[in-house]
Chains A and B, each alone.
Chain A
């Protein structure tokens, strides 16, 4: 099963490598990992998407909790939550493709944030499957470059991950 694990971790040098090292040392799977400081600069918030049986996910959360720098760990997918991912896509947009690309971007509520005579950079947010669907919808030959951030997640309503 796919799980979204949120971590609050001391914003120390090497904190990321402690987490990623744990995953590789114990043969846990990482689908994506995002990390950045929170509004409190001494803390970082990390979102890890992993897949595994319930036993494996239980071990992952226990092992993460064991890391000295980790303040809190929550499996977001245990309850209502929101997940988003940001993607930037550079596409060829010359001639007849120019209008078409703009139209599809609009349908997916994407925004064109850079324009040259022959290219667009389109910014798109959503869950992973929406981003996948956009890439499916446009002509593959026109894709010059894609970059995705990986999933960030947050609990709905009163579910709050804070110190």
Chain B
């Protein structure tokens, strides 16, 4: 059967069982939108800015493990999408982006709304394609979905010139794909796994360090099983929160720049470290030389060989898909006659409990001014710890990560790698599309939220009842914190002046707005928002302490055990 390129795009998305396409139409995708109009197998979510389309598709994927799909037009449509694409790329989120391009004959002529999409996006996608022949369209889209989801996941972009969408050819969606240049490894090396098992059993001060890979590969249940069988302490990275339940007694909480004292100290002082789907990045291990100055054996499991031995030297590298590798590891562990050394383990836990005794996350909530940490703690209580929480980037992000104890994977949605302000609201929208009945909270700040505030309109159109928890301290809080600590209290351009009245702003979009100024009102307001206004979007503007800082803190370039604690100040 002969179909036009536009029809083929729609048919391919249907074949891939896409539920939602997040996008924004424009000249070069008009034929595609025309075909989209004629079908009802998947829905289109019209955002108010292309960046939000990509973020929403990204969160849709993060919160469900389905592939997020977005569609944008050529030129500015693509350039607006770039921040979203780079955000997804840094956090290895599987996505497919369909972009329009000027007609093939116009490419390179500086045509209206032309840009070199493949060139601009190349460094921030897993792969991209420019389709130059309508006969290649179906197989290219098939490849895009395949590449996005397999191996280390990531965004894949398909750039389609307008004339291609209007040409016809026979359509058949390929059932299988052969790509001689792309065969990601899934099964771990048996010999290496055997070595890892022995190393784990020989450990005196073991540590499990679990990252975003555990979430992305749906390996959380395996990780829990392994950790419980061994009885070893576990720390999650910012991207790995929920991979191991935060309320479990073996959990040491998050590690890194704003990690707990016990997590960072255990990470630094362990003798055997097993890294599971984590990449030793600079916000996690601090100064790599300082980290490397302590002798310890490292086992590193990751699907991406280039993540292994990139920043730290590893003793036992295992390349493979986490669920398969962890299953094999568990099997070999159970088959082994060895057990962890109970005496060594007991004294290691005693040491860890001493570190825990520092209570590095404690803070004081007085009667007058709302502490931001308190809001997150109350949010945790009011939502029974079972909400999906998205965040923007800055202090509020760290407080959300520290004080909302995530017990399940895919509940914590944030931009960890790129650190993109403005993701929070579109993320909340994407989460809600993937989980239509879920309770969704967006923890944000008055600066971040304004970077995609226009999406309040999308949220109205699609009746998305997320709760925006705006921790409003009238500062770019994290910038101010660094300026206070490292730049002699010179608050260069970090005061956020001329803020809108967020209550009225929310109301003008047809939502509910609340302003909360006193500590005593925090919990009642949250309860009201999550019960009486269950089905409304509620913008909760919490006026919080202006000088609160995030602690503990490992300053940039410092060692992991060189923490600044709140009590020391």
Answer yes or no: do A and B interact.
Answer: yes
Contact of A14 among B118, B305, B310 (CB under 8 A): B118
B116-152 contacts to A (CB < 8 Å): 118-119, 122-123, 126-127, 130, 132, 147
Q: When the two chains form their complex, are residues B181 and A69 in contact, meaning their CB atoms are under 8 A apart?
A: yes
* CB of A68 within 8 Å of the partner chain: yes
Q: When the two chains form their complex, are residues B182 and A68 in contact, meaning their CB atoms are under 8 A apart?
A: yes
A-B pairs with CB below 8 Å: how many? 36
Q: When the two chains form their complex, are residues A68 and B305 in contact, meaning their CB atoms are under 8 A apart?
A: no
Q: When the two chains form their complex, are residues B304 and A66 in contact, meaning their CB atoms are under 8 A apart?
A: yes
Q: When the two chains form their complex, are residues B130 and A68 in contact, meaning their CB atoms are under 8 A apart?
A: no
How far does the Cβ of B288 sit from chain A's closest Cβ, in whole Å? 12
B96-130 contacts to A (CB < 8 Å): 118-119, 122-123, 126-127, 130
Q: How far is the CA of A69 from the CA of B309 in the complex (A)?
A: 24
Q: When the two chains form their complex, are residues A68 and B122 in contact, meaning their CB atoms are under 8 A apart?
A: no
* CB of A13 within 8 Å of the partner chain: yes
Q: When the two chains form their complex, are residues B130 and A13 in contact, meaning their CB atoms are under 8 A apart?
A: yes
Which chain A residues border B182 with CB–CB below 8 Å? Answer: 68
Taking A17-B119, A21-B122, A21-B123 as contacts, is the C-beta distance between A71 and B180 under 8 angstroms?
yes
How far does the Cβ of A99 sit from chain B's closest Cβ, in whole Å? 51
Q: When the two chains form their complex, are residues B181 and A70 in contact, meaning their CB atoms are under 8 A apart?
A: yes
Q: When the two chains form their complex, are residues A68 and B147 in contact, meaning their CB atoms are under 8 A apart?
A: yes
Q: When the two chains form their complex, are residues A62 and B306 in contact, meaning their CB atoms are under 8 A apart?
A: yes
Q: When the two chains form their complex, are residues A63 and B181 in contact, meaning their CB atoms are under 8 A apart?
A: no
Most chain A CB inside 10 Å of its own CB: which residue of B119, B130, B132, B305: B305
Q: Could you tell me which B residues sit within 8 Å of A by CB distance?
A: 118-119, 122-123, 126-127, 130, 132, 147, 179-182, 304-306, 309-310
Which chain B residues border A21 with CB–CB below 8 Å? Answer: 122-123
Q: How far is the CA of A63 from the CA of B79 in the complex (A)?
A: 26
Q: When the two chains form their complex, are residues B181 and A71 in contact, meaning their CB atoms are under 8 A apart?
A: yes
Taking A18-B122, A21-B122 as contacts, is the C-beta distance between A68 and B127 under 8 angstroms?
yes
Which chain B residues border A17 with CB–CB below 8 Å? Answer: 119, 122
The total of chain A residues at the interface (CB under 8 A) is 20
Which chain A residues border B119 with CB–CB below 8 Å? Answer: 17
Q: When the two chains form their complex, are residues B180 and A163 in contact, meaning their CB atoms are under 8 A apart?
A: yes
Which residue of chain A is the closest to B179 with respect to CB atoms?
A68
How far does the Cβ of A28 sit from chain B's closest Cβ, in whole Å? 12
Residue contacts A-B, CB under 8 angstroms, 13 given: A9-B181, A13-B130, A13-B132, A25-B123, A63-B306, A65-B305, A68-B127, A68-B147, A68-B179, A68-B181, A68-B182, A70-B181, A163-B180
Which residue of chain A is the closest to B305 with respect to CB atoms?
A62
Which residue of chain A is the closest to B126 with respect to CB atoms?
A68
Q: When the two chains form their complex, are residues B306 and A59 in contact, meaning their CB atoms are under 8 A apart?
A: yes
Which chain A residues border B126 with CB–CB below 8 Å? Answer: 68
Which chain B residues border A13 with CB–CB below 8 Å? Answer: 130, 132
How far does the Cβ of B250 sit from chain A's closest Cβ, in whole Å? 33
How far does the Cβ of B228 sit from chain A's closest Cβ, in whole Å? 33
How far does the Cβ of B186 sit from chain A's closest Cβ, in whole Å? 16
Q: How far is the CA of A55 from the CA of B288 in the complex (A)?
A: 14
How far does the Cβ of B248 sit from chain A's closest Cβ, in whole Å? 35
Q: When the two chains form their complex, are residues A10 and B181 in contact, meaning their CB atoms are under 8 A apart?
A: yes
Which chain A residues border B306 with CB–CB below 8 Å? Answer: 59, 62-63, 65-66
Which chain A residues border B147 with CB–CB below 8 Å? Answer: 68
Chain A facing B: main interface SS = helix
Which residue of chain B is the closest to A13 with respect to CB atoms?
B130
Which chain B residues border A70 with CB–CB below 8 Å? Answer: 181
* CB of A139 within 8 Å of the partner chain: no
A49-108 contacts to B (CB < 8 Å): 55, 58-59, 62-63, 65-66, 68-71
Which residue of chain A is the closest to B147 with respect to CB atoms?
A68
Which chain B residues border A59 with CB–CB below 8 Å? Answer: 306, 310
Which residue of chain A is the closest to B125 with respect to CB atoms?
A68
Q: When the two chains form their complex, are residues B181 and A58 in contact, meaning their CB atoms are under 8 A apart?
A: no
Which chain B residues border A25 with CB–CB below 8 Å? Answer: 123
How far does the Cβ of A4 sit from chain B's closest Cβ, in whole Å? 20
Most chain A CB inside 10 Å of its own CB: which residue of B118, B127, B306, B309: B306
A1-56 contacts to B (CB < 8 Å): 9-10, 13-14, 17-18, 21, 25, 55
How far does the Cβ of A147 sit from chain B's closest Cβ, in whole Å? 27
Q: How far is the CA of A9 from the CA of B181 in the complex (A)?
A: 8
Which chain B residues border A163 with CB–CB below 8 Å? Answer: 180
How far does the Cβ of B107 sit from chain A's closest Cβ, in whole Å? 11
Which chain B residues border A62 with CB–CB below 8 Å? Answer: 305-306
Q: How far is the CA of A63 from the CA of B130 in the complex (A)?
A: 22
Which chain A residues border B123 with CB–CB below 8 Å? Answer: 21, 25
How far does the Cβ of A15 sit from chain B's closest Cβ, in whole Å? 10
Which residue of chain A is the closest to B151 with respect to CB atoms?
A66
Which chain A residues border B305 with CB–CB below 8 Å? Answer: 62, 65-66
Which chain B residues border A71 with CB–CB below 8 Å? Answer: 180-181
Which chain B residues border A68 with CB–CB below 8 Å? Answer: 126-127, 147, 179, 181-182
Which chain A residues border B310 with CB–CB below 8 Å? Answer: 59
Starting from the known contacts A21-B122, A68-B179, 17 additional A-B residue pairs (CB-CB under 8 Å) come to A14-B118, A14-B122, A17-B119, A17-B122, A21-B123, A55-B309, A59-B306, A62-B305, A62-B306, A65-B305, A66-B306, A68-B126, A68-B182, A69-B181, A70-B181, A71-B181, A163-B180
Which chain A residues border B180 with CB–CB below 8 Å? Answer: 71, 163
Which residue of chain A is the closest to B183 with respect to CB atoms?
A71
How far does the Cβ of B456 sit from chain A's closest Cβ, in whole Å? 36
Which residue of chain B is the closest to A14 with respect to CB atoms?
B118
Which residue of chain B is the closest to A9 with respect to CB atoms?
B181
Which residue of chain A is the closest to B181 with respect to CB atoms?
A71
Q: How far is the CA of A58 from the CA of B309 in the complex (A)?
A: 9
Which chain B residues border A63 with CB–CB below 8 Å? Answer: 306
8 nearest A-B pairs in the assembled complex, by CB-CB distance: A62-B306, A68-B127, A71-B181, A62-B305, A25-B123, A68-B182, A63-B306, A10-B181
Which chain A residues border B127 with CB–CB below 8 Å? Answer: 68
How far does the Cβ of B529 sit from chain A's closest Cβ, in whole Å? 44
How far does the Cβ of A162 sit from chain B's closest Cβ, in whole Å? 12
Which residue of chain A is the closest to B310 with respect to CB atoms?
A59
